Structure 1
């Protein structure tokens, strides 16, 4: 929320932010000895230029040349959209797709001569073939430079993540309150779908009420809600299942402000917890606390993952593990680096990663606690702040 209540929180980053982002890539172009970079990944496009779009069959791409020139290729139908979003680039368009020539031909005509061009490793074979047909005599160099650049968030990006975290906390509170209100009024308990719809309305409503220039992407606010045995499926989808006395239920929520994501997840118990529910919840809380300590500058992702998940294994619950400690968060809800045994990436200040250990007991329930963590100079800071202990996550009947 804006420090001045009369001034709405702006989701749009200023031109000077994109100048710094593009300068970061220019240094990488020089280091990789390439003449230019082309990426058609929607998140890269928005990262480099501030243009957010609904991806489809019509290509949208960015060309960043070693001279510092930036060109945004869009279909003609998106020109006005890019201009209204103040895309930080020259705009070049193609008429339609598939068209009578490669949609990348106008980009080729606008580009300076180049011998080596870096291209994102996530480009499809089809798109790469279209590029090759439009650019003659170019060596295409697979590169992760934009992915790597996105690891470290600028302060202006962190401000967007913090606001997404505030909204995520509001949604967690709204979900718990909906259940408490039903108990207090004697109404039927809400279903998973009821809860999911309610928290989504709260999150999106808060955003449009408090923010200017809302950046609309496929996901603004909401998430997954599952209860009882359904919650033993880590990414289960909300159903018509209605909460019952004694249920464990999970609110797996998040928001995207200015396209920057945050996730926050809590596991609740409806009524007095059993000894098993206490054991499961307390173990995950302990693992998540150790995971938070293990997210710090200089620590490898794989080592953080091991420290976090070893708490669960040492508690004798390792057979219920289904996934890693966490993942990077930014313009994607899931993006590198990965807090997993196979990722040796060293954590650095400015990274944002999830800390979300979980266990899943078939036929009973799942238990997961997640916070989005900002790596700082001395350790890490959870951006989401909803209480995590079992005492705070019990809803009395």
Structure 2
């Protein structure tokens, strides 16, 4: 999608804030306080690098949205048209607590929710400055973020398109090296190439690129290194017979997507075929079980059940998937302990995997948009072993 503006219009944030206020009224909150960077971006459009200096949002039932931030961030927030009134403190820790400046501006009273991700230190400072308010931990904003607005879905779709092109670029780097008869790339070289591809596409085709915690990139690993589910790229050079994994993704307008495929270099062995086909089958079942009305834990059970029925349950190291949005990993969790009911508008990963120590890992992941009558895979790179075998 060329000429895409990654910055959302100010009226988008008015709708976000109204959604949160409706939930606050339903759950008996007079106001809400959060310092999570993703919540701040969600509520106001302000993306920043978190540090020891607090940045926080106060949203109350009366319509006020106030952002506490250090003075050094004020102009940056203004440049992003942050949808909030700004209250700045000069420096941290300061003679007075930064939260005292926020308290002076909003006069907190009543029952105030706060994000459960707040640190103990910051929560103590907020309580000390807001003695007339009852601060209550809540995951309200986490739940508000579950259902994506249409503008967010458009950003996720574009991130999926870019991710598919990154996967294409990774395969092309390997096949070009084979055709040239030279050395195959190392994991690190492959990771750098796909990262550069993703960022180049955005800067060439989009306006107002939003730099989130990760603009583009991912994990690239081969052979035994890929048996670590989150192993970091190394200087290992790809070689004939290797299983290797491209676990890639990017954020467009701060909205993430992940797409992962497992490849084999050369003719697959019987074991490689069994492992890859099992994961492909589990992931296919996962595409069917991710649907509105089904609990996350049941989707997980059905998906991973394919691996267990194939006799490979001992190699399972993680759940089926997780929510995706302003965070690459966010609630809800497609795992045995999460009873959250899937609903249309959620974006979740579908990424069953197995990890055979000393051999390799096998994982296939798509980012799925839950729809009223099922789910749509936003990432579309081919999944079968035949499509993921690179001839030598």
TM-score of the two chains, using structure 1 as the length reference: 0.98
Measured against aligned partners, the alpha-carbon deviations of 1:121-143 in whole angstroms (never above 9, x if no partner) come to 11111001111121122111111
Aligned to 1:131, the other structure's residue is in SS state: helix
What residue is the counterpart of 2:111 in the other structure? 116
- 1:45-69 per-position Cα deviation (integer Å, ceiling 9, x unaligned): 0000000000000000000010111
User: What is the correspondence of 1:17-166 to structure 2 with a 5 Å cutoff?
Assistant: 17-166=12-161
SS for the counterpart of 1:249 is: strand
Separation (CA, whole Å) in 2 of partners of 1:146 and 1:298: 21
Of the structure 1 ranges 8-17 and 80-89, higher mean CA displacement relative to structure 2 is found in 8-17
Q: Shift of residue 112 of structure 1?
A: 4.0
Aligned position for 1:5: none
Correspondence for 2:368: 373
Task: Give me the whole-angstrom Cα distance separating, in 2, the residues matched to 1:377 and 1:34.
Answer: 30
Structure 2: how far apart are the matches of 1:217 and 1:297?
29
Matches within 5 A, 1:311-350: 311-350=306-345
Match of 2:212 in 1: 217
CA distance in 1, matches of 2:117, 2:59: 17
Unaligned runs of 5+ in 1: 3-7
Structure 2 portions without partners, runs of 5+? none
Separation in structure 2 between the aligned mates of residue 113 and residue 377 of structure 1, nearest angstrom: 40
Deviation at 1:15, TM superposition (A): 1.2
Structure 1 distance, partners of 2:104, 2:55, is 16
1: CA distance between counterparts of 2:311 and 2:159? 35
Correspondence 1:154-303 to 2 at 5 A:
154-303=149-298
> Residue 113 of structure 1: CA displacement?
4.3
CA distance in 2: counterparts of 1:163 and 1:267, whole angstroms: 23
TM-score by length of 2: 0.99
Tell me if the contact between 1:102 and 1:133 (Cα under 8 Å) persists in the aligned partners. Answer: no
The question of whether the paired residues in 1 share the 8 Å contact of 2:245 and 2:362 is answered with yes
**Residues 305 and 325 in structure 1, CA contact (< 8 A), matched pair in contact too:** yes
Task: Classify the secondary structure of the residue corresponding to 1:391.
Answer: coil
- Of 146-155 and 136-145, the range deviating more from structure 2: 136-145
Shift of 1:218: 2.5
The count of aligned residue pairs is 392
How big is the shift at 1:348?
0.1
CA distance in 1, matches of 2:289, 2:107: 47
Report if aligned partners of 2:33, 2:114 keep a CA contact under 8 Å in 1.
yes
Q: Does structure 2 conserve the Cα–Cα contact (< 8 Å) formed by 1:191 and 1:242? A: yes
Rounded Cα–Cα distance in structure 1 between residues aligned with 2:273 and 2:128: 61
User: Does the CA-based 8 Å contact 1:74-1:92 persist in structure 2?
Assistant: yes
On the 8 A contact 1:321/1:358 being kept in 2, the answer is yes
- The structural deviation recorded for 1:368 is 0.2
CA contact (8 A) 1:118 1:140 kept: yes
4+ residue stretches of structure 1 with deviation over 2 A? none
